[in-house]
Structure 1
Amino acid sequence: MKILSTGLIAAALITLAGPAAAERYGEQRVVYHVNDFARANAALRNIGNHLDATGDDRTDIVVVTHSGGINFLLDNAQDQKGNTFEMGVLELAKRGVEFRVCANTLSARNLDEGDYSMLEEVIEVVPSGVAEVAHLQQQGYVHLKP
């Protein structure tokens, strides 16, 4: 009986995650605000799940990073398990996610484009990370901070 009810729950979840979920949520504009390296994996996972639920073509996601949050976008950045972030970032970029990095943070840390060259095709440098978050909110983006 327990197996049957677990199977029914799983089937219901799969059904909800399909086209019905995308219809439920409609079109969305979201800014994910990352300023802590320790939250980078959670942010990337949340974004993937978000797109799975709403549909790539119905969701506009921008990731704005500043302070320690830029670290996962630097060359050879690794999480605590030694996994790099590059493939996850590139995969989300292919799905339409934009990544923006704070120029103030780069300047304060004496970093330049050469420090994140493997991801430069998916990264836009903006003058200020926090001002970018506020600007996107003024444009109707919902602010999420994993």
Structure 2
Amino acid sequence: MNTIFHIDESAKWPTVLSNVPNYLAAAKAAGVQGQVELLINGAPVVDAKTGSAIDLAPLVKAGVTVVVCHNAMASHHVAEADLQPGLTVVPAGVFELAKRQHEGYAYIKP
């Protein structure tokens, strides 16, 4: 089962950082396989920078594809070189979300 998590409010980080590992553990226990993606757009893109208090390395290590909206990065003056290792930049977060939903991904927005 392919699933995309979406964060666009910085206050939601604690929820996202618990929801994704909980989902991964439950999927593993149920024998459910699929791609898991975290889409970051809006203000939380600043938290995707190296040195941020938000550590995305455990998600990347767990196989989660973490993508960051280029448009939001430009709006918040975040350069691709500033991002934590293992993150992928997508041209537009809203398009990425629509594309994944069209591909059948379940959508979770904590």
TM (normalized to structure 1)? 0.68
> What's the secondary structure of 1:58's corresponding residue?
coil
More helix, by proportion: 1
Q: Tell me the residue number matched to 2:22.
A: 49
Alpha-carbon distance in structure 2 between the residues aligned to 1:97 and 1:46? 12
Answer whether contact 1:40 1:72 (CA < 8 A) is retained. no
> What's the secondary structure of 1:59's corresponding residue?
coil
Q: Bigger radius of gyration, 1 or 2?
A: 1
Answer whether contact 1:51 1:59 (CA < 8 A) is retained. no
Which one of 70, 73, 76 corresponds to residue 48 of structure 2?
Answer: 73
Alpha-carbon distance in structure 2 between the residues aligned to 1:59 and 1:38? 28
Which of 1 and 2 has higher RCO (CA within 8 Å, sep 6+)? 2
Q: Tell me the residue number matched to 1:125.
A: 89
Q: Tell me the residue number matched to 1:110.
A: 77
Question: For residues 17-62 of structure 1, what are the alpha-carbon distances to aligned partners after superposition, in whole Å with 9 as ceiling and x for unaligned?
Answer: xxxxxxxxxxx11100100111112101100000111118713210
User: Structure 2: where are the runs of 5+ without partners?
Assistant: none
CA RMSD of aligned residues (A): 1.6
Q: Tell me the residue number matched to 2:35.
A: 60
| Structure 1 runs of 4+ with >4 Å offset | none
User: Structure 1: where are the runs of 5+ without partners?
Assistant: 1-27, 79-84
TM (normalized to structure 2)? 0.89
Percent of matched pairs sharing the same residue: 26
